[in-house]
Amino acid sequence: MVDSDIYLRSITILTPVASAALCGVGIALSVSDSTSRREKQLRQAVVYYYLFFVVAVMGLFLAAFFPIWYAWLYPVVFLMYIYYHLFYYRIIRMLTQTGEEQRLPPIHYWLPVGLALFLSIFVFVLPVGERIRLIYGLEARMPTEHTFSYYVFAARYPLDMLFSILYASLSLLSIYRFYRKLKASARTPVSLSWWIITLTVFTCISLFTSVIYLLVPTWYYGNSVWAIISALLLLSFHIELAYPVFVRKYELYVLPVTAEQRQYHGTITIHRLESYFRKKKPYLNPDYKIGDLVDALDVNRSVVSQFINRTYRVNFSRYVNRWRLKELNRLCKNSAGADVRLEKLVMAAGFTDIKHYRRVKLQEETPDKEECEAQQEDVASRSVSAESVSQVE
């Protein structure tokens, strides 16, 4: 019979692991949907962060339930722990760079690898039993012939703390420099967005929880109130980090709304937008612009643009052209049997001319001229057949 203490320890450790894994999978599936090279690199960095976090924290699970495995995988967990802090700093660095991205110096990646290899060489000299006793904070016997390996093994925790403090501090410094530079270069007053403020707060919390992870004994981890709180904070942080990246809403600053700027009171939904297009047919106007839709719905221009981009995965122009193509398809059916040129139907559907229609047709899968005429003939033949049947009856 498994007691409640083991359940508590398992849930405390695995909760942030599960949230990181789910968020990581979600972002990984969206990498191919990136609209720019910068966005793709950002999403890849977030995926790597979640991956390294999962491996690092799973080390705590091994330490709590499978100490022998953890004793052998000790250097790997050490490396993953440093790397997930490193990639968090890389994410912050990518977000706060205003110019062309500057890559991190290779030493940030190779120094942890070198330390992990160094740790592996000397740690494996130490007997497994002594390693386990050190992991659990018990008094270990220090054989004279393994003195150096003993100290190398024990140095892992101070090194973890050093790197966590280093990259959390660098992240906060990057955010501070970004704000100073933004404030100095902006013509109008600006403020940091809620997302970067949230990341700043969580960076401070991450620094604190890193210390907790290192100071709370491993076997006492699941029972620690601070560990439970940090697990819940990490759960919310993983969601907070993934959502803006997934929906492309990772702006780091906001411009204040002045008294001269228009105040919008409308809302935009799929039902309201499509009902407006279906009933009013604004797309029939060849000069229809997004500003016309903004005035009609009383919604901010950027809100309208972002809503269409995220909902339909196209820009405003392609969205309007799709309605025109639907209208052209309807006109082709209704004009069956009539001697109507395609050019006239194209302009009646809202296109400026046949060239405009041809350009749109290259982007969308639509009936060609021959297909449209065939469709007209098909509808005409059906109507003739129906008349024949009625006459026979």
CATH code where residue 373 lies:
1.10.10.60
Residues 38 and 126 reside in one and the same domain = yes
CB 281 within 8 A of CB 327: yes
Nearest C-alpha neighbor of 60 from the set 69, 50, 47: 69
Determine, yes or no, domain membership for 260: no
The crossing angle, in degrees rounded to 10, of helices 316-334 and 369-392 is 30
- Tens digit of each residue's pLDDT, the chain (393 residues): 445 666 777 777 788 899 999 999 999 998 888 877 888 888 999 999 999 999 988 887 787 777 777 777 878 888 998 998 999 999 988 888 766 567 888 999 999 999 888 878 766 666 666 666 665 554 444 444 555 555 666 667 778 778 888 898 898 898 888 888 777 765 555 667 777 788 888 888 777 766 666 565 444 444 567 667 778 888 888 888 888 888 877 766 654 544 345 567 788 888 889 889 999 999 999 889 998 898 888 888 888 888 888 888 889 999 999 999 888 888 888 776 566 678 888 888 899 888 888 888 887 764 445 445 545 555 455 444 444 434 434
Residues 274 and 249 reside in one and the same domain = no
Last residue of a domain, one of 254, 289, 309: 254
CB 43 within 8 A of CB 30: yes
Q: In the numeric block, which tokens belong to residue 169?
A: 């501090």
Determine, yes or no, domain membership for 42: yes
* Beta-strand pair 191-192/253-254: antiparallel
Residues 45 and 186 reside in one and the same domain = yes
Residues 61 and 186 reside in one and the same domain = yes
* DSSP-derived 3-state class of residue 104: coil
Residues 233 and 128 reside in one and the same domain = yes
Determine, yes or no, domain membership for 364: yes
What residue type is assigned to position 343 of the chain?
E
Confidence (pTM): 0.59
* DSSP-derived 3-state class of residue 254: strand
Residues 344 and 247 reside in one and the same domain = no
Residues 23 and 159 reside in one and the same domain = yes
Residues 274 and 372 reside in one and the same domain = yes
Determine, yes or no, domain membership for 192: yes
Residues 179 and 290 reside in one and the same domain = no
Residues 165 and 221 reside in one and the same domain = yes
What does DSSP assign to residue 366? Answer: -
Q: Please report which residue ranges of the chain form alpha helices under DSSP H.
A: 4-30, 37-65, 67-72, 74-96, 107-123, 128-135, 147-154, 156-185, 194-215, 225-246, 270-280, 290-297, 301-312, 316-334, 342-348, 354-363, 369-392
CB 227 within 8 A of CB 11: no
- Give the integer Cα–Cα distance in Å for 99 and 386: 68
Determine, yes or no, domain membership for 388: no
Determine, yes or no, domain membership for 276: yes
Determine, yes or no, domain membership for 65: yes
- Give the integer Cα–Cα distance in Å for 393 and 390: 5
Residues 54 and 114 reside in one and the same domain = yes
What residue type is assigned to position 143 of the chain?
P
Determine, yes or no, domain membership for 265: no
Nearest C-alpha neighbor of 75 from the set 101, 98, 56: 56
Last residue of a domain, one of 254, 286, 311: 254
Last residue of a domain, one of 227, 254, 281: 254
- Give the integer Cα–Cα distance in Å for 68 and 129: 9
Residues 329 and 242 reside in one and the same domain = no
In DSSP notation, 168-226 reads HHHHHHHHHHHHHHHHHH-SS--EE-HHHHHHHHHHHHHHHHHHHHHHS-GGGGGG-HH
Tell me how many domains the chain contains: 2
Nearest C-alpha neighbor of 45 from the set 9, 97, 10: 97
User: Which range of residues forms the domain containing residue 219?
Assistant: 4-96+103-254
